[in-house]
Amino acid sequence: QEWLSGDFLIPILRPSTKEFHDPLIYIESVRAQVEKYGMCRVSLFLSAGVCQG
């Protein structure tokens, strides 16, 4: 877990592809740890074979 700094701090989450297979389940699983910040950033690693559109 990293933190975005500036005037405020928010957690930056970097789930694996397996953890983020179902985004709604993942968000619910981290909700308790991030809701006190009001938001979080989810940064996904895209493999070389995935088109970013």
Please, are residues 52 and 46 in contact by the beta-carbon 8 Å criterion? yes
Question: What value does the CA radius of gyration of the chain take, rounded to a whole number of Å?
Answer: 12
Please, are residues 11 and 3 in contact by the beta-carbon 8 Å criterion? yes
Residues in the chain: 53
Please, are residues 10 and 40 in contact by the beta-carbon 8 Å criterion? yes
Q: Give the tens place of pLDDT for each residue, 1-53.
A: 556 656 678 888 999 989 999 999 999 999 999 998 888 889 887 665 555 54
Q: Where are the domains positioned within the chain?
A: 2-42
**Residue 8: phi, psi to the nearest 5?**
-150, 165
Count of alpha carbons within 13 angstroms of residue 19, beta-carbon side: 13
Check residue 15 and give its pLDDT: 93
